[in-house]
Amino acid sequence: MCGEERLSAQEDRTWSLLVGVMMWLPAELDAYLERVAGLSHAEYQVLRWLSVSEEREVHMTHLAATASVTPSHLSRIVARLEARGWITRSSDPSDARRTLARLTAAGAEIVAGTEPGYAAEVRSHVFGRLTLEQTRQLEDITEVVLTPLRPDCVGVLPPRDVDPAE
């Protein structure tokens, strides 16, 4: 057995706080999105990522990475969103083995109507409680933790904003 079998008191407290954020923040956002748009957080993330992509069309594998869901979970989400008329799927004309997901006009309307309130919720629960320095630290910490777990998720994110003072 390893000499450090248990987390230190500081590690345990920090880990417990992180687990709490991972559990309760998505639950709060899920409740908000269900109330205002009849969507789960995962469904909203899929719609949102399609809305910010060029031409509102993305390969399913790329979409899974950006929306932070597994490919099998994405298939179920897309099927539900497709049934509501918010997404369409088609074969990639340049590679029929790949599937494209495309945001419909109705899906874009859902995102446009939901985004301001969603942003306000995220600011209220996260960024409104942090200083700019803490926000940068949170970005750095989460990138360091996520990169070895899912480099594909980190690799598709937009680059970090550069602060003119830096």
The percent of residues above 70 in pLDDT, for the chain, comes to 95
pLDDT tens sequence across 70-111:
888 999 999 999 999 999 999 888 888 888 999 999 999 999
Q: What mean pLDDT is predicted for residues 13-29?
A: 95
Q: What is the pLDDT of residue 165?
A: 53
Q: What is the pLDDT of residue 154?
A: 83
Q: What is the pLDDT of residue 128?
A: 97
Is 43 a domain residue? yes
Read off the pTM.
0.84
Is 60 a domain residue? yes
Is 89 a domain residue? yes
The percent of residues above 90 in pLDDT, for the chain, comes to 67
- The pLDDT-based confidence of 2 (bands split at 50, 70, 90) is low
pLDDT tens sequence across 121-147:
999 999 999 999 999 999 999 999 999
Domain, as residue range, for 126: 11-151
Q: Please give the Cα distance from 100 to 54 (Å, whole number).
A: 13
Q: For residues 75 and 22, is the Cβ–Cβ distance under 8 A?
A: no
Is 4 a domain residue? no
Q: Please give the Cα distance from 88 to 70 (Å, whole number).
A: 19
Q: Which of 97, 87, 92, 98 is nearest to 43 (CA)?
A: 87
Q: What is the pLDDT of residue 33?
A: 97
Burial class (CB in 10 A: 0-12, 13-18, 19+), 35: exposed
Q: What is the pLDDT of residue 103?
A: 96
Helix (H, G, I), strand (E, B) or coil at 122: helix
Is 166 a domain residue? no
Q: Within 13 Å of residue 114, how many CA atoms lie on the same side as its CB?
A: 24
Is 162 a domain residue? no
Q: What is the pLDDT of residue 152?
A: 80
**Cα–Cα distances in Å, from 162 out to 101, 136, 158, 159?**
31, 11, 12, 9
Q: Which of 20, 21, 75 is nearest to 43 (CA)?
A: 75
Give the count of domains, the chain: 1
Is 161 a domain residue? no
Q: What is the CATH number of the domain that holds 74?
A: 1.10.10.10
| Positive/negative CA dihedral, 128, 130, 133, 135 | negative
- The pLDDT-based confidence of 3 (bands split at 50, 70, 90) is low
Segments of 8-151 assigned E as strands: 57-59, 87-92, 95-103
DSSP 68: T
Is 159 a domain residue? no
Q: What mean pLDDT is predicted for residues 49-53?
A: 89
